[in-house]
Amino acid sequence: MTTLTPRGPYSPEELERLYPKGLKLQLVQVFLRHGERTPVSSRFQNAGLSPFWPYCSVAKQMVEAAASKQDLSSWDGFQWRRKIETFGDNDEARVASGPNGLIEGICQHGQLTDKGRETTYALGQRLRHLYVDQLGFMPKIKEDTEDMYLRATSITRALESMQQAFWGMYPPNARTLDFPPPIIVARPVNEETLFPNESNCRRFRQLARLFADRAAVRWNDSEQMDYLNKVWSKYMPASSPKVAVDAHPRLSGIMDTINATDAHGPATRLPSDFYDKKARAILDRIAVEEWFAGYNESNEYRKLGIGALMGDVVDRMVSTAVDGGWRSETSASGSNIPGTGKAIKFAMSGCHDTTLAAILSSLGAFQNGSWPPFTSSIAVELFSQAPNQSADAGTMLEEFSNPAVSSKKGGVLSSIFGGKDTSVSQQLAPSATARAPLESFPDESRDSLRKHYVRIRYNDQPVTIPGCAAKPENHLPGDETFCTLDAFKSIVDKFTPKNWVAECMQNLGEGMHGPNDSERLPADS
């Protein structure tokens, strides 16, 4: 499947089952794959496929920030039109054209297309319908984004997709007239953990290549690959005539082009052989193994590929459950004093297919999974027991909402960190519990984590995490998809790096399984 076909809104009966009255939604973290795009490189021109696609009419007229005064004290929008130039037959410059000689709205390689903008906008509308209209979790009209965390990778299609989804969730008529520009968080690419960062994590790059090489050994001489060659080898270049995991183009590159063409119009279709259902099923199975089997088999792979991001996900939920709220100074437009901003309720991160599959695989929840379609999403939802369900939960809520009570009792965080008399702003600092191992939490905090539940929805379907379903005490009675935060953190702690940058430089050259690397999924531990 290439383009996601979203299910309809939840019915009242489904909504009641998915969001029980005994639980209160506290935090939502959405990770969305970008929408439909062009292939990341030109392939199969010998099969009649144009190297340039005319599906970017929205982007042909661009608006960028520009200084409106010489002193750079204010900014304005600089509008400009774009055309793409390329080499001619004799290296002369010529305008790039798509099918039928079109020169307007031409896309770059890997660029979000008009359809990709439409589907990610529609995702935002679905998020609004659920979290605003049906659940009332987020307000209908927004004054600012102080209670939201918006982030994207440095790859433009991910940023634009996140922007489209936000726009769909809060269109202009759902924002006040004085609504300030939202803060969008970015990271330097060498520190980016919102996708498995092969380029800047040397050990992970080694592991990824080793698992890819293993996939090549397993599949290149198989009956399944023979079938792919029967269907597609006639389209392979003379320099690499056989279809193979490690051919040129790679098997995953063939999939990239097939999926991109399948998502768009007839002007950029490949010959019908490429859409053979059996061949595509084989292609998907092999590509998923090549890219994601490492998360099932190697704790080091999980740790370096997605562990830092999952550590962030857990830290945010722990801060919400134990610290009285997750606050992020990077997403706040006001004061930089720690702990003075609004608690964040909704996070939205623009990312990639490899991000979503890595999240699910690292939790043991991607068995026999297919490659994530364009505009797929994961929603990580945190719930607490409703106040009337637990007196202890109400007591903790009072402690964190009333500084005087918290000061008198010392606060949960002060018990974690040696009984220090911390100020309110220090207690509410987002990093106070960051990466703290579960066993270091006092009983009071562990009890709070056990009264909070985590539920993951992948493309609007609840996901069962094996490590949570395995034991009754690890999930909500009667529903295995609700994992206690205590159990969820226990699983993620096993593959959360203590220092991602440093660990990316360890065990270089140690093979597929370095020292002390566990081959078992964390769910089996």
Same domain for 324 and 276?
no
Domain assignment present for residue 66? The answer is no
Same domain for 264 and 130?
no
Which residues 6+ apart lie within 8 Å of 505 measured at CB?
Answer: 202, 203
Which domain-ending residue is among 294, 321, 350? 294
CA pair distance 480, 467, nearest whole angstrom: 10
Helix (H) or strand (E) segment spanning residue 24: strand 23-33
- Residues 3 and 36 sit within 8 Å (Cβ to Cβ): yes
Q: What are the phi and psi torsion angles at 206 (to 5°)?
A: -60, -45
Which domain-ending residue is among 294, 314, 346? 294
Structure tokens at 210: 């080793």
Per-residue pLDDT of the chain (525 residues; tens, 9 = 90+): 689 999 999 999 999 999 999 999 999 999 999 999 999 999 999 999 999 999 998 865 655 555 555 555 566 666 667 777 878 777 777 777 777 767 778 899 999 999 999 999 999 999 999 999 999 999 999 999 999 999 999 999 999 999 999 999 999 999 999 999 999 999 999 999 999 999 999 999 999 999 999 999 999 999 999 999 999 999 999 999 999 999 999 999 999 999 999 999 999 999 999 999 999 999 999 999 999 999 999 999 999 999 999 999 999 999 999 988 998 877 665 544 555 578 999 999 999 999 999 999 999 999 889 999 999 999 999 999 976 654 333 333 333 333 333 333 333 443 443 443 333 334 434 445 788 999 999 888 899 999 999 999 999 999 999 999 999 999 999 999 999 999 999 999 999 999 999 999 999 999 999 887 876 665 454
- pLDDT score for 415: 41
Residue 462's DSSP bridge partners are 457
- pLDDT score for 210: 98
- pLDDT score for 432: 57
CA pair distance 170, 176, nearest whole angstrom: 10
Residue type, 335: S
Q: Helix, strand, coil % (nearest 5) of the chain?
A: 45, 15, 40
Same domain for 429 and 289?
no
- Residues 131 and 28 sit within 8 Å (Cβ to Cβ): yes
Domain assignment present for residue 185? The answer is yes
Same domain for 156 and 146?
yes
- pLDDT score for 84: 79
Same domain for 114 and 182?
yes
Domain assignment present for residue 70? The answer is no
Same domain for 45 and 165?
yes
Same domain for 449 and 521?
yes
CATH of the domain at 4: 3.40.50.1240
User: Number of folded domains in the chain?
Assistant: 2
Which domain-ending residue is among 264, 294, 324? 294
CA 29, 31, 37 angle in degrees (round to 5)?
155
C-beta atoms surrounding 191 within 10 Å: 11
Residue type, 215: A
Domain assignment present for residue 31? The answer is yes
Same domain for 348 and 496?
yes
Same domain for 203 and 248?
yes
- The length of the chain is 525
Same domain for 497 and 430?
yes
Domain assignment present for residue 523? The answer is yes
Which residues 6+ apart lie within 8 Å of 14 measured at CB?
Answer: none
Residue found under tokens 């209670």: 147
- Residues 113 and 56 sit within 8 Å (Cβ to Cβ): yes
Domain assignment present for residue 94? The answer is no
What's the pTM value of the predicted model, to 2 decimals? Answer: 0.89
Residue 185's DSSP bridge partners are 151
Instruction: Give the distance, in angstroms, between the CA of residue 119 and the centroid of all CA atoms in the same chain.
Output: 16
- pLDDT score for 525: 45
Same domain for 307 and 423?
yes
Domain assignment present for residue 240? The answer is yes
Domain assignment present for residue 99? The answer is no
Q: Which domain holds residue 146?
A: 1-56+107-196+297-525
Same domain for 252 and 381?
no
Residue found under tokens 């005539």: 241
